[in-house]
Structure 1
Amino acid sequence: MESKSMLYIGQDPINLQLVRYLLSKKFPHVTLIQACNSSEAMSRLEEDAPALVLVDIQLPITEEYTIPEKLKQPSEHESPPIWAVSGCVMDQDIVRAYRSGFDRYFTKPLHLLSFTHHLRRELDG
């Protein structure tokens, strides 16, 4: 199976640990790369060309909603899919995320079976 990478943007150590564990068990061919903010993510995107970007939206910080626009700016690389994972479950939060350019939106706590299914389609498809 082809080796790939996934970029995780976020600062919550528990969520990062969950994603790292999930990848190690279900997607051992996927390397997890971490960035704490959008500027760090931009450099990692250029350096590593990940197959997927996962943004952990933490309120009250709203900088995460600007990440898709920044990452999808014209560059020499095609922008990977950008997914959001958030504890915000209100319809307006989900609509805001999609309007901001996220390709998928998952709510916390993650339904691991569904999330793993979507990861498999994206990373192994």
Structure 2
Amino acid sequence: MKEYKRTVLYVEDNELNMALMHHIFKKNLPSLLLLKAETAEIGLDIAVRRLPDLIILDIGLPGLNGYEALEWLKAREDTRHIPVVAISAFALRSDIERARETGFAAYITKPFQVSAFTDTVKTLLA
């Protein structure tokens, strides 16, 4: 059984995006365990149980959106230290500024360059 150094939680409701991220991690970040959740509610449950080293959170989720999920994570003693990366198709400057002001560690716009994405992940886990 493979031993992973760090854990990343990816919260995304789109199956194709989830499959793409799985492929990116398998090929470019093989030492990281990728946990997956299809809703913010499931992701928050996993975050509390597993305490991942990094969370990648889609902004436009059904139910709780990414901003609401981040607020929930930052309000808890056990999860507030986890860096959270916003990932979204919302690419306006105002979207990026709002995410930074809200407390996201980084903001990635879809579609993204794989190398820039993996660099961001590596930097936040360093």
If the TM-score is normalised by the length of the shorter chain, which range does it land in?
0.7 to 0.9
Provide Cα deviations, 1:34-76, integer angstroms capped at 9, x if missing partner.
1222322221112111111001223797722212111111323
Q: CA 1:105 to 1:61, structure 2 compared with 1: closer, same or farther past 3 Å?
A: farther
Aligned equivalent of 1:19, options 18, 21, 35: 21
Question: In structure 2, what is the equivalent of residue 67 of structure 1?
Answer: 69
With normalisation by structure 1, the TM-score equals 0.85
5+ long unaligned stretches in structure 1: none
Are 2:41 and 1:42 aligned?
Answer: no
Name the aligned partner's letter for residue 6 of structure 1. V
Deviation at 1:100, TM superposition (A): 2.4
Question: In structure 2, what is the equivalent of residue 108 of structure 1?
Answer: 110
Q: CA RMSD in A?
A: 2.2
Aligned equivalent of 1:31, options 3, 24, 33: 33
Question: In structure 2, what is the equivalent of residue 84 of structure 1?
Answer: 86
Provide Cα deviations, 1:14-41, integer angstroms capped at 9, x if missing partner.
1111111111112212111112223222
Deviation at 1:80, TM superposition (A): 1.0
The ranges of structure 1 where at least 4 consecutive aligned residues each deviate by more than 4 angstroms after the TM superposition are 59-62
State the aligned residue count: 124
Q: CA 1:70 to 1:40, structure 2 compared with 1: closer, same or farther past 3 Å?
A: same
Report the 3-state secondary structure (helix = DSSP H, G, I; strand = E; otherwise coil) of the residue aligned with 2:58.
Answer: strand
Are 2:32 and 1:10 aligned?
Answer: no
Report the 3-state secondary structure (helix = DSSP H, G, I; strand = E; otherwise coil) of the residue aligned with 2:76.
Answer: coil
Is the contact between residue 58 and residue 86 of structure 1 (CA under 8 Å) also seen in structure 2? yes
Is the contact between residue 6 and residue 32 of structure 1 (CA under 8 Å) also seen in structure 2? yes
5+ long unaligned stretches in structure 2: none
Aligned-residue sequence identity (percent) comes to 27
Q: CA 1:78 to 1:59, structure 2 compared with 1: closer, same or farther past 3 Å?
A: closer
Report the 3-state secondary structure (helix = DSSP H, G, I; strand = E; otherwise coil) of the residue aligned with 1:58.
Answer: coil
